[in-house]
Each structure stands twice: as C-alpha cells, then as structure tokens.
Amino acid sequence: MKDLLTRIDFAALYRRQARASSFQARSSADWGRRAVARSRGEKTSDYARQLLGHLDLAGVQTVLDIGCGSGNLAIPLARRVRRVHALDFSAEMLRLLRAAARAEGVRNIRTYRRAWADDWRRIPRADLVLCSRAMAVDDLRAALSKMNAHARRRCCLTMHAGPTFLSTEVYRVLRRPIIPRPGYIYAVNILYQMGIRARVDFLHTTGGLAYDSADQFVEGLRWRLGRLTPSEEKRLRAYFQALPHGADGRAFYRHDFEWALLAWEPPSR
C-alpha cells in the first residue's frame, strides 16, 4: 500500500487552519504603518540573538532574507557574510532597513521589494535562504518550493509555535477564544512529502514593548485583532492602566513567544 502520509493535502489543511486562526495575514500597507509605529516604540526582545545563535553559517557567503523587515537579522548577518539579499513587500520596511544599514556603515545589503506571490525570477539564489517570522502565505507548499529553488546550501524558517501572537492574558481580558495556528507542523509535513527531513528546534523568547499611552496600546492590538467592540476597548484600557509603568511614565507590555525553527538542505537538482 502507498504511504498514506504522502496523499494528505497539508497545504489545504494549513490554509483552513490559517483562515480560522486568531491572527490573519496583513497587507504591505498594514506592515508599512507598523514599521513607522514600531520605529517610534521601544522594543525589547532576545529573538534576534537567539536565532542568530542557531544559524549554521558554515560555507555561507550569501543570504536571502525573505520578509526581512527593517533589518533585525539582515544587518547583523551582513557583518558575517559577503552579501545579503533582503526581500520584503513593504517599501517602508525596506526604507527603514536601508537607513539603519547606512547608519551602521553596512554596505553589502541589496533590497528587493517583492511579495511571496510575486515573480522571483530576478531574485538571486543564495547559500542560505532565511525566512524569519514572515511566512504569511496562503500557499505554503509554493512558498517552501520557492525557498528550495533559491537555496544553494540550506534553508531556515521560523514560524510561530505558541497559541497566539498576543499574550493569553489579552485574550482573557477580551473574553475571546484562542484559535491557535501552529503552522510549522504543516511545513514539516509538506517538506516530508518533498523528500526533505527538516530538523525542528524551538526558541523561547522574552520581550515586550513600552507604550506611551493607552491609545497607542489599543492601536497596536487593533492592528493584530481588527475591530474591537467598545466594551473590549474599555477592558483593554483598564488592563493597560494596571500594567507596570516605568519612571518615564511608559507602560511595559510583556510578550513571550515560542517559535519553531525548521532547518533543512534543499533537494539537489
């Protein structure tokens, strides 16, 4: 009998799970607005340090960083390899990345404004293809194939592995159910069907964001959740007031995450 596992359509299951989950993909304009807001906020997270500690850069001279954002990883990676190709669909994110690279004297990053679903024929192949926290796609199988097609040596992908993109505390305050989105499970299985045994690791990161005002806090949550009812907003404002406030008057919202880190070698062609 044929291996049943090869016949399950994990990409379709992923699509269903993603559409039902508590967090939906955002447009490039949404990400642009977030880039501006975040560049003003004070963010703390040990994610980049942890991920960079896990990356195998042996023999890697070039990196393709998909969904590079404002350069959290592209900039430190550019100091360790010959060239980083940084791809993102948000012009604002790429602008912030270029400004940060200039400010830090980093000159070996090339930026590409592309979405996952765009034509990537002119995007160069790289020794390492990295997609960190940016696998916001409808077609997971096509995206993984794209990573493979652009990788010379290895691929690395991180996907959210926890129950939500917000703290469970926020859902408790909202009185909303959490519909998790453990997308990495589908990715592991799709890769298996492609004949690839991905290694899976987990990163537990701590961090958070300091907010000047309840308005800023509620706006940030609206970005994640979409519409809020007046009573949800009222409860969130009360929750914000109870957060620990620093001497500068800003409130600190703590945010811990669990990320799945998948690493694999692309099939040889």
Ligand X SMILES: C[S@@+](CC[C@H](N)C(=O)[O-])C[C@H]1O[C@@H](n2cnc3c(N)ncnc32)[C@H](O)[C@@H]1O
Query: Which residues are near ligand X by CB under 6 A?
Result: 31, 67-69, 72-73, 88-90, 93, 115-116, 132-134, 136
Q: How far apart are CA 241 and CA 259, in angstroms?
A: 29
- Taking the complex as a whole, the smallest distance from the CB of residue 158 to ligand X amounts, in Å, to 7
- HSE-CB of 256 using CA atoms within 13 angstroms: 5
Measured from the CB atom, the residue of 134 and 209 that comes closer to ligand X is 134
Measured from the CB atom, the residue of 131 and 188 that comes closer to ligand X is 131
Tokens of 245: 């406030």
- Taking the complex as a whole, the smallest distance from the CB of residue 175 to ligand X amounts, in Å, to 27
Q: How far apart are CA 203 and CA 226, in angstroms?
A: 28
| Whole-Å CA distances, 19 to 72, 89, 179 | 28, 21, 10
Measured from the CB atom, the residue of 120 and 192 that comes closer to ligand X is 120
- Taking the complex as a whole, the smallest distance from the CB of residue 258 to ligand X amounts, in Å, to 15
Sheet bearing 207-211, strands edge to edge: 42-45, 207-211, 251-254
111 forms beta bridges with 86
Measured from the CB atom, the residue of 67 and 162 that comes closer to ligand X is 67
Measured from the CB atom, the residue of 34 and 173 that comes closer to ligand X is 34
Measured from the CB atom, the residue of 62 and 72 that comes closer to ligand X is 72
| Whole-Å CA distances, 181 to 47, 163, 189, 205, 226 | 19, 7, 15, 18, 17
Measured from the CB atom, the residue of 35 and 210 that comes closer to ligand X is 35
- Taking the complex as a whole, the smallest distance from the CB of residue 131 to ligand X amounts, in Å, to 7
Q: How far apart are CA 219 and CA 237, in angstroms?
A: 11
| Residue 109 contacts residue 75 (beta carbons within 8 Å) | yes
- Taking the complex as a whole, the smallest distance from the CB of residue 262 to ligand X amounts, in Å, to 14
- Taking the complex as a whole, the smallest distance from the CB of residue 174 to ligand X amounts, in Å, to 22
| Residue 200 contacts residue 266 (beta carbons within 8 Å) | no
Tokens of 149: 């097609």
Q: Quick count: other Cβ atoms within 10 Å of Cβ 168?
A: 12
- Taking the complex as a whole, the smallest distance from the CB of residue 177 to ligand X amounts, in Å, to 24
Comparing every residue's Cβ against ligand X, the nearest one is 69
φ/ψ of residue 17, rounded to 5: -60, -45
